[in-house]
Structure 1
Amino acid sequence: MATAAFEEIVEDFEFLDDWEDRYRYVIDRGRAMEPLEAALKVPSTKVEGCASQVWLHPRIETGVFSFDGDSDAMIVRGLIAVLRTLYNGVPVAEVERVDAPAELARLGLDAHLSAQRSNGVRAMIERIRLVASEAA
């Protein structure tokens, strides 16, 4: 179950020949994302388990989940942007049904991220699911 925005990323990845281009694409998505306000970069929004600094600020409005995020690492910021396309706009009750690892595997990210980055992505997914399950 992926959003239309995530399906666009899958299609874009199919046209990119090598991983250097794919990394650049992910980084560019992160650059295009609005930075998280400094006031939201607080301990309660910080994601533990990431090698870099990561903050996620979730919102639930009329039963729909979304979040903003930021990182001090460009590739991680791009990964946040990819996760936003996967989760933003999903009904909060359906967030835990999103199989993020399988969806990210469609992009090949599972095989091309370092162990530390993979652990960080898992920590972000866990935080997203936790917030959504508490709200549901």
Structure 2
Amino acid sequence: MPSIAEIQEEIVQEFEMFDNWEQKYEYIIDLGKELPLLDPKYKVDENLIKGCQSRVWLHAHLGDNGRIRYTADSDAIITKGIVALLIRVFDNQLPQDIVDADIHFIEKIGLKQHLSPTRANGLLAMIKQMKYYALALNQLTQPS
């Protein structure tokens, strides 16, 4: 199982293969199309990420192996691709590793600079929510 840092480096290397941002956006859109469908029962208001211009639903649960499993969907194709990238980084990781993770791939690939201010805020809101879920689920794994 690759670490969060290793997955981020894979993403950075993938984005280095593209010559321009039009190609990078196409890749992000393709990632969104590959995202598994979110079960409709999770498309509820409490799973909506606050601070996103688009509607983004994020669900997290603790897997049998003590690692967090994320699923998500969005009504915007670029946003769906961005959340797919974040799921790739955080999915199937230990809660404490997610809480402690330094998310550097966004800067390295130049994503934040190529998003509108509202999309950039939404990106930060997605990361914050994923880490919040990790923190909450980490509490469940700690002996009382």
TM-score, with normalisation over the residues of structure 1? 0.92
Question: For 2:71 and 2:8, how far apart are their aligned partners in 1?
Answer: 16
Which is higher, the Rg of structure 1 or of structure 2?
2
Question: For 2:28 and 2:45, how far apart are their aligned partners in 1?
Answer: 26
User: For 1:98, which of 93, 97, 101 is the aligned residue?
Assistant: 101
Residues 96-123 of structure 1 show CA distances to partners (whole Å, capped at 9, x for unaligned) of 11122x2211111121111011110111
Other-structure match for 1:29:
31
The 5 Å alignment of 1:63-78 reads 63-78=66-81
Moved more, 84-93 or 1-10: 1-10
Amino acid aligned to 2:105: E
Question: For 1:132 and 1:85, how far apart are their aligned partners in 2?
Answer: 15
Q: State the identity %.
A: 34
Structure 1 residue 94: deviation in Å?
1.1
Question: For 1:127 and 1:32, how far apart are their aligned partners in 2?
Answer: 22
Residues 29-63 of structure 1 show CA distances to partners (whole Å, capped at 9, x for unaligned) of 00011121222100111111100110001121132
Question: For 1:103 and 1:22, how far apart are their aligned partners in 2?
Answer: 14
Question: For 1:119 and 1:10, how far apart are their aligned partners in 2?
Answer: 21
Residues 59-91 of structure 1 show CA distances to partners (whole Å, capped at 9, x for unaligned) of 211321220100000000000110011101211
Structure 1 residue 5: deviation in Å?
4.0
Question: For 1:128 and 1:79, how far apart are their aligned partners in 2?
Answer: 13
* Count of residue correspondences: 135
User: For 1:80, which of 83, 87, 93 is the aligned residue?
Assistant: 83
Other-structure match for 2:141:
none
What SS does the aligned partner of 1:39 have? helix
Q: What residue ranges of structure 2 are gaps of 5+ in the alignment?
A: 139-144
User: For 1:112, which of 111, 114, 117 is the aligned residue?
Assistant: 114
Structure 1 residue 125: deviation in Å?
0.9
Structure 1 residue 4: deviation in Å?
4.1
Q: CA RMSD in A?
A: 1.4
Moved more, 124-133 or 13-22: 124-133
User: For 1:15, which of 7, 11, 17 is the aligned residue?
Assistant: 17
Structure 1 residue 8: deviation in Å?
2.6
Question: For 1:40 and 1:16, how far apart are their aligned partners in 2?
Answer: 34
Question: For 2:31 and 2:75, how far apart are their aligned partners in 1?
Answer: 15
Q: What residue ranges of structure 1 are gaps of 5+ in the alignment?
A: none
- Indicate yes or no: 2:22 matched with 1:40: no
